[in-house]
Every structure is written in C-alpha cells, then in structure tokens.
C-alpha cells in the first residue's frame, strides 16, 4: 500500500533532479574557473573593462555561472560602451538573482539609455506581487523548495503509516498542496528559461525584414539594447516581435537569453 503512494513522488523527485542537472550550476565549476572570476574582478577594479569581459566570459566557458558573475559582466559591458550585451547580462543576472536591487537598478538604467526606448512588455506590479513565487525566486531556489517539500511528504507518509492520526493526515494534505503550487511554478519557470524566447539586439542596428533572409524587403530597423521576443527560428534568421511589430532578423544581431 505504501509503495503505491510513494511511486508518483519518486518519479517527481527524479524529474526535479533532472531539472537541477539541466540548469547550469556554478557548483560544478573548476578551481580554474573561480580563479579566473577573481582575476576578472581585479582587472575590472583596474578599469581594464575589455580584459575583464574576456576573463568573465572565460570563467563562464569553464562552468562558473553565478548571478554575481553576470552582474559584473553586465557592468563591464556597460562601462565599455556595449549597452546591448550589458542588458543581456543583467537579464541573465536577474534570472539568478531576482530580488537583487543592484541588478534591477542597473538593468533599468541601461534600458533607459537605449535609442528605441521600447519598454519591455512586463506584467503589472499587482500581478507580479500575486505571482511572487515566480517573480521573486530563482529557478534554483524553487527547485530546492520543491525537493524539500517532497522530502517532507515522504517523511509524513512514513510517520502516518505507523501513527494514523488526523493531524498528520492534515499536515500531509497541506504539504502536498504547497508542493504542487511551488512545483508548478518551478516547472513553468523551467520551461520559460529553456524556451529562450527573449533576446537583446547587440549590433549597432539591426534590419527587420519581411521574411527569413536578406532577399526579403526591409520593414523597419531596431537598435542596440532593444529587447525582443523570439517567435521562431529558421536557419540564420529569427522571427521576432517588438512593440507590436513582427518580422525576421539575422541571429548574428541578437543575444538570445
């Protein structure tokens, strides 16, 4: 009987473990990666922003990808005059550090300096407060909370097997409800991150065309730092949506988040 209750939770635990494995984690970084990160910070303090950018990217390539690195990389790009890549780095930092006020402030500062002045279509503040689990917690935090709640369900089920009293049964129901809410939030966030539907213009300007390729007519032009939505990709082109307008753009002009 107990095995029948455990089976679905064991499957869910395996899914959580897989999601943790797929999402890049800084804990797998080598000592060389962390050393490179420290060197990059020192170079940044010396105002050699180009070299700092190179070292930060090297640390990323070695598997070290905490939110602080993306934040520092964004600052280096910003100081080096590369607004588009700065915004892309701040957006990645926000995914990992959603409650960090410095990340949010620098992102808004960079956004205010774009040529197109197109404000990203984000939910109202009231909705963000209502969906605080999604907007205030990173995917990694949500996965850990889901894993802890799952372990709590296992423990409570085990206790209930020997002590069939109503308070334990009530605790199980409450824990399962909270587990479902947080687990669903984590799953939605996981899907949205892996869908790579957001991008930033990193070239000085990018031509948006009527179809996938340079042979199609030009519709409009967007500039460095503008955030766009990716609708689909075909070869070296991506269909985008920006400020209620749609078209195709060369993928070399964007950094997909």
- Asked whether 61 and 201 are in contact (CB, 8 A), the reply is no
Indicate the SS3 state at residue 203.
coil
Predicted local distance difference test score (pLDDT) of residue 6? 52
Mean pLDDT lowest among 25-34, 148-157, 158-167, 172-181: 25-34
Tokens of 238: 């991506």
Cβ atoms of 255 and 84 closer than 8 Å: yes
Q: What is the mean pLDDT of the chain?
A: 88
Helix (H) or strand (E) holding 15, with range, is helix 2-22
Enter the pTM of the model. Answer: 0.85
Residue 106 burial (CB count, 10 A): 21
Residue 204: CB atoms within 10 A of its CB come to 10
As a whole number of angstroms, the distance between CA 13 and CA 47 comes to 46
Split at pLDDT 50, 70, 90, the class of 2 is very low
The answer to whether 194 and 22 are in contact (CB under 8 A) is yes
């Amino acid at each position: 009987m107990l095995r029948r209750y455990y089976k679905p939770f064991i499957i869910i635990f395996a899914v959580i473990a897989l999601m943790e494995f797929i999402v890049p984690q800084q804990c797998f970084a080598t000592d060389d990666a962390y050393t490179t990160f420290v060197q990059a910070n020192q170079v940044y303090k010396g105002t050699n922003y180009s070299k700092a950018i190179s070292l930060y990217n090297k640390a990323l390539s070695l598997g070290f990808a905490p939110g602080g690195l993306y934040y520092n990389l964004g600052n280096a790009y910003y100081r080096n005059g590369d607004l588009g890549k700065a915004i892309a780095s701040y957006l990645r930092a926000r995914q990992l550090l959603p409650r960090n006020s410095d990340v949010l402030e620098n992102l808004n500062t960079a956004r205010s300096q774009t040529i197109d002045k197109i404000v990203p279509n984000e939910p109202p503040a009231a909705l963000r407060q209502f969906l605080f689990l999604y907007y205030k917690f990173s995917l990694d935090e949500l996965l850990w909370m889901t894993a802890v709640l799952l372990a709590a369900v296992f423990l409570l089920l085990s206790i209930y097997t020997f002590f069939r009293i109503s308070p334990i049964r009530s605790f199980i129901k409450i824990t399962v409800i909270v587990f479902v809410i947080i687990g669903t939030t984590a799953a939605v966030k996981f899907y949205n991150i892996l869908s790579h539907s957001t991008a930033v213009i990193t070239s000085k300007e990018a031509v948006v065309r009527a179809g996938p390729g340079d042979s199609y007519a030009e519709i409009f032009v967007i500039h460095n730092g503008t955030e766009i939505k990716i609708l689909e990709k075909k070869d070296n082109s991506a269909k985008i949506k920006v400020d209620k307008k749609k078209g195709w753009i060369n993928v070399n002009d964007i950094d997909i988040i």
